[in-house]
Amino acid sequence: MTTLFENLWNDYVAITPDALTIHNKFSNLSSKPIVNDHIALRTFNDGLISLKHIGEYLAKHGYAEAGEYHFKEKKLYAKHFAHKTDKNAPKIFVSELLLEEFSAELQMFCRGLIAQANWKIKNNGLQLPERHWGKISREAYERLLEESEYAAWLAAFGLRANHFTVSINHLETLNSIESVNQFVKEAGFELNTSGSEIKGSEEVCLKQSSTMASIVDWAFEDGNYPIRSCFYEFAERFAMQNGELYQGFVAASADKIFESTNVAA
């Protein structure tokens, strides 16, 4: 499991320079390691990369389903997974695009990617992180973007950590999401303000915020172009009535967190 997260982290920071800079700034404030609350993966609801198959892959690493979520507007279904024995292990949030709810053109293109993934997985097995298909064209990216930012991002980047998340509860000095946000903004980074800067509340036992995804030069079939890659999230969890910290997710908040990869205006 350690190797899985190391591979995901190394891949993530390679295309998310903002996250590594912020992570190092947090590390400079503390003698303790920065704890990762959760990561997120995006996928399609078909083929050998569907949420079902990713769940089977995660089960081999000791994870089990722990909650499900529906995003009607974005046409997504999601589950989060928690480690069965290690309570300190990061949670894994996996969402999938409901292809049947989109145009025939989008479905046809994405099912072409899935066909490539199926062939690769049958020969080599499911891998994380991995884009199980070849580079797409910039034109295809733009066409997907017209219908679904999620589909465009997934087609370009594949199955990799869309974000890592700093557990504010484990920070030594910045002990609230408000102080974390202020620290990040003072360091010159843009926060996702969709809905509000802070998503959630103490009443729902979870507050979340995130940077806007880094803009990187990404390799397309027809050359490199600047697009948003991945982002860094910050989560503060609160105690439920039984005194234990809430370990799930809030769909209304997650819906706005998805927009951290929205294309720059």
Residue (of 140, 132, 134) closest to 225 by Cα position: 140
Residue 84 sits in a domain whose CATH number is 3.10.180.50
d(CA 186, CA 180): 10
**Residue 60: burial class (beta carbons within 10 Å; 0-12, 13-18, 19+):** exposed
In total, how many domains does the chain have?
1
Residue 15's φ and ψ, nearest 5 degrees, are -115, 10
pLDDT digit string (tens) for the chain, length 265 residues: 679 999 999 999 999 999 999 999 999 998 889 999 999 999 999 999 999 999 999 999 999 999 999 999 999 999 999 999 998 999 999 999 999 999 999 999 999 999 999 999 999 999 999 999 999 999 999 999 999 999 999 999 999 999 999 999 999 999 899 999 999 999 999 999 999 999 999 999 999 999 999 999 999 999 999 999 999 999 999 999 999 999 999 999 999 999 889 875 4
d(CA 259, CA 265): 13
Residues 119-142 have pLDDT tens digits of 999 999 999 999 999 999 999 999
Strand segments (E) across 4-75: 36-44, 63-71
Domain that holds residue 170: 2-261
Residues 83-117 have pLDDT tens digits of 999 989 999 999 999 999 999 999 999 999 999 99
